[in-house]
Structure 1
Amino acid sequence: MQFALIVAALVAGVVVTQDPAPGWLAYATAQCPAGTRITHMEAKWLVGQNPPQSFAFFSPWFGIDTTDNLNLLQPVNPWLGTSWSMYTEYYQWSPTHNKDSAQYSVNAGDQLFGQITFNGESEQSYTLKQTDVTSGQTSEMVIPVQVGSDGQHKNYTVQYIVYEKVAQCNQYPPDQKVVFNDIKVFCNGVQVAPQWTTGIVENVCDFKATPVSSSQVEITWNIDGVPPTQKQLERAATSAIYKNNRIDHVAMNRAIKKEMNIMKEKTN
């Protein structure tokens, strides 16, 4: 009975929305000029220092989105509670669909190089590639462009630099900064200088995105900063377990085990 209650509490309240989504912390965003699409975006960054081991899940990443903010392509670099990893991901809000490329472990200090490339009008697809420059390991996949309600292929115009997922402040990396550099954006095959604007979705731990230049954005936080609320932590637990509207059974079992240990400690 307790297991059922825990699972129900953890997966309840998932709401369909769009980007920027609940769970995002600080982000920077820019757009291609009107009438154009993103044909290539790339960026480099270093894997952060190892934070304390925990049940926390969070990730720095960059990505591109359709004009309606419902189709996200992203090279990601999540902390999985005990180690860092890298892969690429596609998330579609409607109808809900998620796909990941092969996941590989990476080490603190490794340089990552992410690339997203349009494969042309006839192909109507994007190639996503994430490379650990330090080890030489690459993860990639090809994602078709969704056809919209008007019968036309959607248009990718929005660029994002993001840190995502709520955790306790002292669970984030102790270096308290990630710098995305050598950012390059091409719209209709022409390199542009992104005009970054910034925002915050979940205001925790003093997360802040700062454009240093059109080709460099840094995201900072404070491990001694303003902590998340209980509701923010509950949403974070739900998103880790009910990832992209599908149950992650490994995360669910870990969360159940954690909750049962807490109950056991309270009764001893």
Structure 2
Amino acid sequence: MEPVVHTVFEKQTGTWQYIVACPDTRQAAIIDPVLNLNLSEFKITTTSADELLAIAETNNYTITRLLETHAHADHLTAAFYLQQRLLAKGQPKAPISTGRRIRQVQETFAATYNVPKAELECAFDHLFDDDETFSVGDITAHALHLPGHTPDHSGYKIGRNVFTGDSIFNPDVGSARCDFPNGDAKALFNSMQKLLALPSDYKLYTGHDYPPAESGRAPLPFVTVADQLASNKHVKQGTTEAEFVDWRRKRDSSLNEPRLLHPALQVNIRGGRLPASPDGSQRTFLQVPFHIPQF
């Protein structure tokens, strides 16, 4: 049985969000939902997440999993918001889930942003082991460890579909950066090869799309393994590890940090929870670290 896949593109951050549903049971998982952040207005809104809820309600889905591929550095996750809204609608608690190596990322950034340990221990309801199986209704799914972009990165194979997060991009975009703490270009190459070794008709759903201006194309949620092998500009068939690693490292050394890096990481290592308001109001505070010179 193959799932029904709903694709929802969040334009501000170029993020693909997915609802993956079992057609028989109407049970579904949501993958990589976005909480909208407007930095110029210092405002967080739920427009994108509410669109996901509307799709689920229209199709009479019960959301049984909220899946994160990794601790994103370019958008805030809406996982916790969705979990609370679904509970308020009378649905069972949908566990917020990701790969077990999120603990390493939490430890790295807890020190940077002074996040209390207690806020991290309860951030995720389930941490997948490598190749762990789980169900989306009557469909068997597998959690894949796909490190490189980040050390905690996971993908999810559901039927003949793989939700790759940032472990591979569409062929004319290529690959994701590997310069975050414990990111690794060699590991990313190996993760991409793992995906490219799947049957040629498998669909690889990407976490982002940034269509090149000259292409004139609309954002594309997936291509097949065969398409990636034929034309991915960074890892098409015949590309060596040395070629990829050399190019990726040079490219990463020239990149600026993501625009939403600091707010995204502080929220995402908490599983989508916002830091508690210090005065009980509707305000929260996110830190921006500065390196201060000696005076």
Do both share a fold (TM > 0.5)?
no
Q: TM-score range by the shorter chain?
A: 0.3 to 0.5
State the structure with bigger RCO (CA 8 A, min sep 6), 1 or 2. Answer: 1
Report the TM-score, using the length of structure 1 for normalisation: 0.33
- Determine which structure has the larger helix proportion and give its number: 2
